[in-house]
Chain A
Amino acid sequence: MAATPPAAAIPHEAAAPPTAGWVLHAEIAVVGAGPAGIAAASRAAEAGRDVVVLDAAPRPGGQIWRHRRREELPARARAWLERFDRSGARLIAGAQVVDAWTAADAWAAAGSRGAAPEGFRLVAEVDGERLEVAADRVILATGARELFLPFPGWTLPNVFGVGGAQALVKAGASFAGKRVVVAGSGPLLLAVGATLASQGARVAVVAEQASRAALARFGAALLLRSPGRIAQAARLRSALGGARYAVGCWVTRADGDDAVREVTLTDGRRSWTEPCDVLCTGYGLVPNTELAEMLGCGVDGGRVRVDEWQRTSVAGVYCAGEPTGIAGVDAALAEGEIAGAHAVATSGAAGTPGTAGAADDRRRLFRIRRREHGVARALERAFTLRAELRDLPRGDTILCRCEDVTRGMVDPAWSFRQAKLYTRIGMGPCQARVCGPACEFLFGWRGQTTRVPTAPAEVRTLAGESGGAGAEG
């Protein structure tokens, strides 16, 4: 007969509650302290709501207003940060949100009976400690990340994303004296080129893959919608110093032994090499939709679906800024204000009716949002990525850095799911945040699934343990 262990071997028969440890309560929880999150939190807190803001960075501002000292920032950014400071919203900096759920769903999943609880739960890691936030409303302002496209040599040291390079500069890294090539697509190339030039870098060339004709059409569209941007672009051009702005050109490969030494550029007819110490590439931005997906919010074409009040498909969850579509800082601020004001109107204790804002205020915000999304659509058309970029990876070019999966290991006829199953692509620590969008561009693969945790988290965090109680338990 088989050896059967005693019944006492079964641990933990009693049902544990879905949550344990310390829970912070708030009427409104905002995830992300970039422009959208700052605007949403300020509006809601100014109206008297109890607002908690969670952000992974040490200081508020998000990617675009990343800073060490506020004096470095433009006046409008400083004004918003000061308003945010005064609003009474509680910022928890260094808080990486790793999980989120609706209280009712967790209740049901645990097989609990009776009236389901309302609201939402967020779990964050702060300095390695678990923090759980319970909130009536959630505003997701999770921003966007860079789109990386693979080409031979893209994993060499000193090949950066343009956003990454800008973050390095803001963190105090020096590019002084370095010979830099900036390549890819979109207005961010000029901005990064100008930043690096102002830091003393020798920017050799800024290569824009979009065609001259497409850019001309975009220029015309800008003149109609946002003439100020033309002057802005011209200022950036002049700030580049001696750098060439090469339109209709793209990087086909980067070479070097211990780091990048030269890049090969082409305009589709001829190719040439540029020696360099640093290559910054940028092909656009990808909305961060993981947390929205985790909460069950509808996502269409990689964007969180929202209505005119920035409400997602899940009642009580709002989304503002880049996750709803890449539209820049002005749209993010307007959407944040709209979401914050509306969350005020629909939350809070009885007897403190909120307001969705005065009508003229509402019209102003709606107008900005409409205008900026119009510009964004024109941008998207002008900077559409050319098909030639799909042919750049060779058989031995890495697609997935976490798992060392090359182009040659995957079959374009597969789905992303199949590629994951058979090659482990996208299964590493970044969970396809980098290679997923690249593969979508290269092969048309979609349909990644978001799983707990939405960012890497310690075992004890997911185990519901806070503080040092875990090991002794």
Chain B
Amino acid sequence: MGRPDAIVVGGGIIGAACAYELARAGMRVLVLDAACVGGGTTAAGMGHVVVMDDSEAQFALSAYSTRLWHELEPELPRAAEVDRCGTLWVAEDDEQLEALHAKHAYYLARGVEAEVVDGADVARLEPNLRAPLAGGLRVPGDRVVYPPYVARWLVDRARDLGATVREGCAAERLEDRAVVAGGERLEADVVIDAAGVAAARLIPDLPIVPRKGHLAITDRYPGFCRHQLVELGYHKSAHTMTSESVAFNVQPRATGQLLIGSSRELVGWDASPNRSILQRMLRRAMEFMPGLARLTVIRTWVGFRPATPDKLPLIGRWPALEGVWVAAGHEGLGITTSLGTARLLADQILGREPAVDPAPFRPDRVFAPHE
């Protein structure tokens, strides 16, 4: 391959989606990954494609991305394990039920299909949930995918369109219209920092910190639950940056396995298992689903979400370097927002009219010092 038009640094789901998007637009793309495609945060997450509403901007990007997932779905092979299970948000008490209704109204006003179900219906939909719960919000358009495979698939599609991929190639630094990697200076008009949780190693001014999480996966129990189940308190767990937190979040996999989450900690790059928080996470899950207690866990693991101060990703031009763009900092929502991120970034690179307002995602936006 000659001089590429674009170099994407990072072959996670974000970089893979960007590579696919730019290759589809006719650009010659080179993808670099320090390890292997889809092997970082992409492999550590749940693969939940979910519309979220912590902020208008988050909603806009996640709803847009969910539509793009819907469009892509017919092309994805079986190994992508797309499961249109939907999300069931569950409320424990009347106070949460009120918040649930507000969430419902918010979704309806913006054209996202959702329905409130009462406690009895929650018990019918998911008999293994503790009864009685106050109610639930079913979002049928949400789905589950197997992220590392999808990342590989996106990169392979980009390759079909002429892209080149170098795995085991760590970028050392970015310069104007160039990447230095493996002692080599690689030039391109467009350079994208999509290195996820490592993005700030290439652009130290990016406000991205690793936010540690634990997950557990069980043996196969087909039908144990049918929706991705999330407690309404998850929003709060995901949103609070100050302390460690756990929330009930259980996902049925296409294999019949269950993924049990979730936890959040800010402890730097310490990848060792924290048994204390793992215990809390599993106990929280058992509180909502008592039958989980006797199911068999075959593996637990740790991953790092690329977290930003305002919980929004960094998407757009990085003004300090010529030709350098950023697509990173997606915290726990990177699988969902990967396709929207890639489209939004490509629109800006190619001078197309973006479908989502890019302003809230500018990488050089000013962050409030503390929330």
Contacts and interface: CB of A to CB of B under 8 A. Distances in A.
B180 interface: no
B55 A462 contact: no
Interface string B6-47: 000000000000000000000000000001111100010000
A460 B260 CA distance: 12
Interface of A, secondary structure class, is loop
Interface in B217-256: 218-219, 231-233, 235-237, 240, 243, 245-247, 255
A5 B96 contact: yes
B276 A459 contact: no
Given A421-B36, A428-B298, A458-B295, A12 B276 contact: no
**Which of A18, A128, A421, A471 neighbours the largest number of chain B CB atoms within 10 Å of its CB?**
A421
A168 B297 CA distance: 27
Contacts of B277: 110
Contact of A465 (B233, B235, B283): B283
Contacts of A464: 275, 279, 283
Interface string A142-169: 0000000000000000000000000000
Contacts of A456: 219, 296-298
A101 B279 CA distance: 14
A109 B272 contact: yes
A105 B36 contact: no
Given A10-B245, A16-B280, A458-B296, 16 more contacts: A5-B232, A5-B236, A9-B92, A11-B247, A12-B246, A12-B280, A16-B283, A17-B276, A109-B272, A417-B36, A429-B298, A451-B299, A451-B300, A451-B301, A452-B278, A463-B279
A5 B245 CA distance: 15
Interface stretch (B285-293, B323-331, B333-341, B363-371): B285-293
Given A20-B279, A431-B298, A452-B273, A418 B36 contact: yes
Given A4-B99, A17-B276, A422-B149, A417 B39 contact: yes
A470 B293 contact: yes
A349 interface: no
B276 A18 contact: yes
Interface of B: 35-39, 43, 53-56, 58-59, 79, 92, 95-96, 99-100, 102-103, 106, 148-149, 152, 216, 218-219, 231-233, 235-237, 240, 243, 245-247, 255, 260, 267, 270, 272-280, 282-287, 290, 292-301
B286 A473 contact: yes
A10 B232 contact: no
Interface in A99-147: 99, 101, 105-106, 109-111, 128
A2 B294 CA distance: 37
A7 B236 contact: yes
B340 to A, nearest CB: 18
Interface of A: 2-13, 15-20, 99, 101, 105-106, 109-111, 128, 414-415, 417-418, 421-424, 427-429, 431, 451-453, 456-460, 462-465, 470-471, 473
For the complex of A and B, 5 pairs with smallest distance between CB atoms: A9-B233, A463-B282, A3-B102, A3-B103, A421-B148
A417 B39 CA distance: 8
A458 B294 contact: yes
Given A418-B36, A429-B298, A462 B243 contact: no
Given A10-B240, A421-B152, A460-B294, A4 B285 contact: no
Contact of A429 (B219, B231, B275, B284): B219
A195 B37 CA distance: 50
Contacts, number: 177
A422 B16 CA distance: 14
B286 A470 contact: yes
Given A109-B276, A451-B300, A458-B295, A5 B283 contact: no
B149 A11 contact: no
B299 A459 contact: no
A132 to B, nearest CB: 11
Nearest to B152: A422
B283 to A, nearest CB: 5
A6 B245 CA distance: 15
Given A9-B233, A415-B36, A473-B283, A2 B149 contact: no
B299 A465 contact: no
Given A2-B59, A463-B293, A109 B279 contact: no
22 contacts: A2-B54, A4-B236, A12-B284, A17-B276, A20-B279, A99-B275, A105-B272, A109-B275, A109-B276, A110-B275, A110-B277, A128-B294, A417-B39, A421-B36, A421-B152, A422-B148, A431-B298, A453-B300, A459-B286, A459-B293, A462-B278, A465-B286
A106 B276 contact: yes
Contacts of B102: 3
Contacts of A463: 279, 282-283, 286, 293
Contacts of A422: 38, 79, 148-149, 152
Contacts of B95: 5-6, 8
Given A3-B102, A9-B231, A458-B294, A109 B240 contact: no
A110 B278 CA distance: 10
Contacts of B243: 13
B286 A460 contact: yes
Nearest to A20: B279
Nearest to A469: B293
Contacts of B218: 459
Contacts of A451: 273, 299-301
B284 A11 contact: yes
A457 B295 CA distance: 8
Nearest to B153: A422
B15 to A, nearest CB: 15
A187 B294 CA distance: 42
A3 B293 contact: no
A16 B246 CA distance: 12
A16 B276 contact: yes
A418 B235 CA distance: 33
A99 B225 CA distance: 27
B224 to A, nearest CB: 12
Nearest to B148: A421
B283 A421 contact: no
Given A417-B36, A421-B152, A422-B149, A12 B300 contact: no
